[in-house]
Structures are given as structure tokens and as C-alpha cells.
Structure 1
Amino acid sequence: MVARYFLLLFVLSVYVSGADSSRIIGGRNASSMRYMVSVQNNGGHVCGGFLITNNFVVTAAHCYDDHPTHVVLGNHNLKNGQMVAIKKKFVHNSYESPETGDDIMLLKLATTNGLHDVIQLPHAEIDLTANEVCQVAGWGKTMSGGKYVGELRVVDVSVINPQVCKNQWPQLPSSVICAGGYGTNKGFCQGDSGGPLVCKGFAVGIVSFNHNRNCNYPDKPNVYTDISKYLQWIDMILQNHQGLTVKPHMFCCLHY
């Protein structure tokens, strides 16, 4: 009886400490990801995102459904960040749902001061290997049915072999990367959508979807949009809407 009592106390303490500290599932406080952006509507945080220029943010296309109006950037704590209005949204025109792919959106900000960090995109397809360790960060829920958090969290996740991921997701889109969630207690949760998968210092993926919005890992692999498949589309938007000098591509996928 005494043993059962102490076992119950142990289980409760693990549950409570996990709920308080996991934030992004299995994560820790972030300290050097100043390119991270909280995408928000009038109700507050809805998605993550990341700066690729001083006035363009990359996030997930499915975040469009939350009607974002502004972003908060410049600080890991959302209470102390700079609020900037969204001037224009660019959703990939082939996007239908996260499960069918093309889950990518660019946000043009209304103002810019050039004082915030940006993260580089891969110049071409990066050769990721199974079990390679990358990072994902966000202000998402602590667990299924939990609440969003105000302090940015980051967690290490391992890249999953594409065939292993395909076995778990028979209808897996082609332009994706799988990392974390499967056979581990680490990964992303709702509210982390749109944040970057960072490998070798580059933003190589965008948080897209997990299994039935379930964050109680282990579970099926977490799925990210593969940014390297959309570099031409991104270049086209930047060229047409920011005046950057980039190599033109015969690629047109804009949706307003």
C-alpha cells in the first residue's frame, strides 16, 4: 500500500513537471533564434514563422485559415516582442490541405527596420541523412489539448528515413521531410505550425502536420514542408514584391 502511494506521487510529479516544461514537446528554452516570428490574429498567437529577409516571413499555408493580421518578432518572450502588421499574404496556389502538400505561405510585413535576424534558406536541396539531428522551435501547446506558451522553446529532433516515413504515412506528399515524433518523446505540437526545421544552420523545413493533432508521443513521424522544393517560388515572390536581385525562374504559383 505504501509502495503504491509513493508510485502515485511519482507519476503525478512526472505528469506535472512534464506539463510545465515540455512546451514544444520534450524541449528547452531557446536562446539564439532571433529569426523566429509569432504569427498572430486578433486573439493572439496562432502559428510560428521565420524571417528570411527584413520584411518577409515564411510560415505554413494552413495558417492562412486562422486569419493572421500581424506578427510579433525580435524577442523569445511574446510579451516583449515588436508587433508588425502583415501587408500581404502569398499562399502556394496548389495548396489544398497539409496532408496533400504545398503547405507554404509567405507574409510580407508592412514595415521593416532591418534590425532583426534572418535565417538562410538552402541554396539547393540539402542531403539529409537518417538520424541526423536538427532543431524545431515554437510557442505551441505543451501537450494535446494544452495551452500555447509565451516563451520560445526548442527541441532536437532526428531526421527519419523517407521510406520509413512513407510506411507510416501511405499518402505522404512528395515534397516533405520527416523528423521527430516517431518512436521518441520529442517533436512539435499545435501552435508550432509554420516554424522552421533547422539543419546545418539552414531552415530546411516548415512545420506542417502530425497525426490527428496528437502530441502524445511516440506516434507517427512529424511532417515538414521541404523548403528546397520551393526556392524558385520564393525567389519569384521576392523579385516581384521586394525588388531583390535574384535569378528569375519560369515558375508562377501566387495566390492572393
Structure 2
Amino acid sequence: MHPLHTCLLFHLLAYLGQNADGSEIINGELAPENSMLYMASVQDNKGHHVCGGFLIREDFVLTAAHCDDGITHVVLGTHDLKSVNDDNKISIETHYHKSLVGSGNDIMLLKLSKKVSLNGRVQTIPLPTSGMNQQDDCQVAGWGYIKTGGPAVDDLRVVDVSIINLEDCKEQWSHLGDLPANVICAGGDETGKGFCQGDSGGPLVCNGKAVGVVSFNNNYICKYPDLPNVYTDVSKYLPWINDILQGYK
């Protein structure tokens, strides 16, 4: 699929990631089995992992808008995508975009066909109540490639990342064009840590809250990224999220 097939901004199109068939958490490690129980694998009708996502209520998963390409269900309750069965596959009833992806609002809500049971394998993650603190300790996680263009992995991987000052991030990206509004920058740049294509839609987790949604990096450059990774800032969309959730009591 092409996660930026409609592009976030036309003058960035030639530079942003273009293929989300795999993912790569750069310089990360296997996520412990009892951690990140909110993680979702967003999949197509062939059972292929397309994007990440995260459970914010028993019947809603949050992910990136550019992941809307043939997706049919989510997988919850496992870090190992080889162990998927009918018990942890939940079909997608409908989905909601904030607006066209081209406007920069790279965020999507997936309404599940049923409420899932919260237990020792599946939990929700809280959303932020306000903006970011640059000193927050953060992580990003996903499934997929272990190196750019390499073999995929089935086990969830996670890496620590640091928040990058937004003005500094905009300056670093400025030679390619303006960044979309409502974003957070974390990882990438010279840190050697971050995400790659296919981790799209997964959460940037800071102090136990999902503050960002994996959106894009720079043109496949993952192993040694030269620009900061970019996430959608969840705090900027809380009224929109809450309005939709309140429609499904």
C-alpha cells in the first residue's frame, strides 16, 4: 500500500515514506509479553499486517488516516502475529477520518464490530489531557521489518525515543516544505532510534499516555534517519475523538 498516496503536503510527497507493507522499530527490543496490551495490528482481508493502532475504548482503535487501504479487522491480545486466531480478530464496523489526509490530519478512529473484554491480555490506553512536555519519557512500538527492505518479524518491538522541540523539527524539515499542523516530533534525526514504514498508526506513548500517532519519516531513511520522525498530536483532536465516542455509549 502507499500510506501517503494522497500525501500530507504536495511539496513533501517526494520525500516521505511510501510503503507500509512492513515496519521497523529502529534499534529497539522485543516488547515484554505483559506490556503494551493496548497495541493493535490493523490488517487486511488476507490477514496481512498493514499498520499499527491502539485500543482507546473497548470498541474503538485509534490509528493513522493513511492506513485506510483495504483494512478489514484488527488483532488484539497478542504480541506474536503468528498466534492470531478467531478469538483475537475483531472486524471493523466503520471508520472515521478527521478530514482528508492531504490536509495533514493523519488520524483515524476504527469502530469495532463488538466490545472486547479487558483482561490480562487486552487493555486500553489513556489519551492525553493537554499538550506535550519535552522532558517526557516516551516509547514507540510496532511489528515488521528488522532492517530496511529486510525480512519482517512477527513479534512486537519497542524503542525509547526523545521528544524533539517542534520549532527545531520544523527548521530541520524546512528545506522540504512546511510540516503539517498538529504534529509532534520524536526520534529519528541523529538518534538512530525511531520507526519505519508500517509502524504507521501506532502510538507514541509518554508517561503511560498515547500522545501521538505514527505518521511519517523521510523517504525510507530508517536505519540512520537524517530527520526527526513525525507523529500526529493526539491532544489537538480530543474534542473530535470525544464527540465520536459519545455517539456510541
Fold match, TM over 0.5? yes
Residue of 36, 40, 64 corresponding to 1:37: 40
* Larger strand proportion of the pair: 2
| Contact map agreement 1:148 1:191 (CA 8 A) in 2 | no
The alignment status of 1:117 with 2:123, answered yes or no, reads: yes
The alignment status of 1:93 with 2:99, answered yes or no, reads: yes
| Contact map agreement 2:24 2:198 (CA 8 A) in 1 | no
The alignment status of 1:50 with 2:50, answered yes or no, reads: no
Matched residues, number: 215
Task: Give the match for residue 29 of structure 2.
Answer: 28
Residue of 209, 218, 236 corresponding to 2:243: 236
More moved, 53-62 vs 23-32:
23-32
Q: Distance in 2 between matches of 1:73 and 1:54?
A: 11
| Contact map agreement 1:140 1:188 (CA 8 A) in 2 | no
Instruction: Write the mapping of 1:107-256 to structure 2, written as runs, cut at 5 A.
Output: 107-115=110-118, 116-123=122-129, 125-129=130-134, 132-170=136-174, 171-240=178-247, 242-243=248-249
TM-score (norm 2): 0.82
Higher relative contact order (CA 8 A, sep 6+): 2
Task: Give the match for residue 67 of structure 1.
Answer: 70
| Contact map agreement 2:132 2:211 (CA 8 A) in 1 | no
Q: Distance in 1 between matches of 2:42 and 2:149?
A: 20
Q: Distance in 2 between matches of 1:216 and 1:113?
A: 36
Aligned partner of residue 242 in structure 2, secondary structure: helix
The Cα shift of 1:23 comes to: 4.6
Q: CA RMSD in A?
A: 1.6
Q: Distance in 1 between matches of 2:165 and 2:116?
A: 41
| Contact map agreement 1:134 1:199 (CA 8 A) in 2 | yes
TM-score (norm 1): 0.80
Aligned partner of residue 159 in structure 1, secondary structure: strand
Task: Give the match for residue 4 of structure 2.
Answer: none
Residues 66-119 of structure 1: CA distance to partner in whole angstroms, max 9, x if unpaired? 2101111101111224111111011112432xxx52100000111223222000
Q: Distance in 1 between matches of 2:203 and 2:57?
A: 15
| Contact map agreement 2:134 2:165 (CA 8 A) in 1 | yes
Change (3 A) 1:190 1:147: farther
Query: Which segments of 5 or more consecutive residues in structure 2 lack a partner in the other structure?
Result: 1-22
| Contact map agreement 1:143 1:189 (CA 8 A) in 2 | no
Percent of aligned pairs with the same amino acid: 58
| Contact map agreement 1:140 1:189 (CA 8 A) in 2 | no
Aligned partner of residue 164 in structure 2, secondary structure: coil
Query: Which segments of 5 or more consecutive residues in structure 1 lack a partner in the other structure?
Result: 1-21, 244-256
